[in-house]
Structure 1
Amino acid sequence: MAPTSETLTAERILEATEEVLRRHGPAKATVVDVARALGVSHGSVYRHFRTKAALREAVTKRWLDRTSGELSGIAAGDGDPATRLRDWLAALFAAKRRKAGADPELFATYTVLTGENGTAVGEHIADLTAQLTRIVRDGVASGDFTSDDPQATARAVFQATGRFHDPCYAREWEEPGAEADFTAVVDVLLRGLRP
């Protein structure tokens, strides 16, 4: 039975949009395709998302938020800050590798969408750097790290590890030595943060 507009939720639309994007790619996927997949009119989709751009931004944000959610528990933890920082960076690298490797077509689609959606990407990066800032602040408070400006330090750590989470480097993530390179970069960063 096809859903009605009363049972249609934004979450169901986003799930369908992801599937349509996987099937058709970002260049060919339309709101009509999403509506057809849900068994509703395209007007029903537009009641939840006013434009195609708004729908694409929402599905991009949902995808990025999955990674932020995975990392937030590590950032909010109360363990050793150096271990938390290493674990957080490793979890970010693993999440990005998993997304790129498990569903390369969808990863390529989202790479295109993130290029279109500066707001969602900017919010994602702000959330990730806020999580890193929390870890750095905790390290400064415990005496494990030194930093005059934990927020600037967190941004620097994020930028210094870009090769291991920026989608433009996805092809390198499975190359031999990528894991060793990651470990070496994190070791250097942790040494630099110590008092």
Structure 2
Amino acid sequence: MPPAPLTPERILEATEDVLRRFGPAKATVVDVARALGVSHGSVYRHFGSKAALREAVTERWLDQSHAELSAIAESAGPAAPRLRSWLAALFASKRRKAGDDPELFATYMVLVGENSATVDRHIAEMIAQIAAIIETGVAQGEFSATDPTATARAVWDATNRFHDPAYAAEWGREGIDAAFGAVCDLVLRGLAKSA
């Protein structure tokens, strides 16, 4: 049976395994190529540099939550429960990533620091999804916001403790779910249109 074709997806999966084993400081493109049974030149044909490969891994990791969150943002119905559901899904996704694979999570924190443009794109996408929910809430008469994008940024910032990896150590602590609920309640009360 011939070997599976070398695809960017296979390379990214192998890179995650290599990063998990060696960490970002010691992992090399040669290690990735060795894990795939190919030459490092074959990897470079798909990713022009080690930096490009690391950026693609970071982007892949950040994008994994986009589909679920996008589905919530684009769903029908009242905006308030959708926004709460979206924030809860984001928090759950980040906790899963931190708890299920702590070695890879720590590696990604290093990569995220190196790839600020990738992180900036991710944050812009997240804020755009929140803004879409807020715009719907304004149109349906649920929310009051003169600038949905600025309001979305404020919601992002207000909920930072529950999605910024810098707070990952807190995500398993007792009372964190109650704290999350309290922040969501506060955000939703702040958005609610006055009667």
- TM-score grouping bracket, smaller chain normalisation: over 0.9
Q: What's the % identity of the aligned pairs?
A: 68
Structure-to-structure mapping, 1:116-127, within 5 angstroms: 116-127=114-125
- C-alpha distance in 1, partners of 2:93/2:34? 31
Aligned match of 2:6: 8
Q: CA-to-partner distance for each residue in 1:137-159, whole Å, 9 max, x for gaps?
A: 00000000000000000000001
Q: Secondary structure at the match of 2:26?
A: coil
Equivalent residue letter for 1:49: F
TM-score (norm 2): 0.97
Q: CA-to-partner distance for each residue in 1:105-160, whole Å, 9 max, x for gaps?
A: 11000011101001110110011001001000000000000000000000000010
Equivalent residue letter for 1:157: V
Q: CA-to-partner distance for each residue in 1:17-59, whole Å, 9 max, x for gaps?
A: 0110111111110000000000000000000000000000001
Q: CA-to-partner distance for each residue in 1:152-184, whole Å, 9 max, x for gaps?
A: 000000010000000000000111110000000
Shift of 1:2: 7.7
**Alpha-carbon distance change, 172 to 2 in structure 1, aligned in 2, over 3 angstroms:** farther
Shift of 1:3: 3.8
Aligned match of 1:180: 178
**How many positions carry a matched residue from both structures?**
193
- C-alpha distance in 2, partners of 1:112/1:132? 27
- C-alpha distance in 2, partners of 1:92/1:182? 12
Equivalent residue letter for 2:58: T
Equivalent residue letter for 2:85: D
TM-score (norm 1): 0.97
Q: Secondary structure at the match of 2:118?
A: helix
Aligned match of 2:103: 105
- C-alpha distance in 1, partners of 2:38/2:178? 50
**Alpha-carbon distance change, 2 to 50 in structure 1, aligned in 2, over 3 angstroms:** farther
Aligned match of 1:24: 22
Q: Which runs of 4+ in 1 moved over 2 A?
A: 1-4
Which runs of 5 or more residues in structure 2 are unaligned?
none
Which runs of 5 or more residues in structure 1 are unaligned?
none
Task: Report which stretch shifted further, 178-187 or 66-75.
Answer: 66-75
**Alpha-carbon distance change, 110 to 2 in structure 1, aligned in 2, over 3 angstroms:** farther
Aligned match of 2:189: 191
Q: Secondary structure at the match of 2:24?
A: coil
1:76 aligned residue (63, 74, 77): 74
Aligned match of 2:133: 135
Q: Secondary structure at the match of 2:110?
A: helix
User: Are residues 1:156 and 2:154 paired?
Assistant: yes
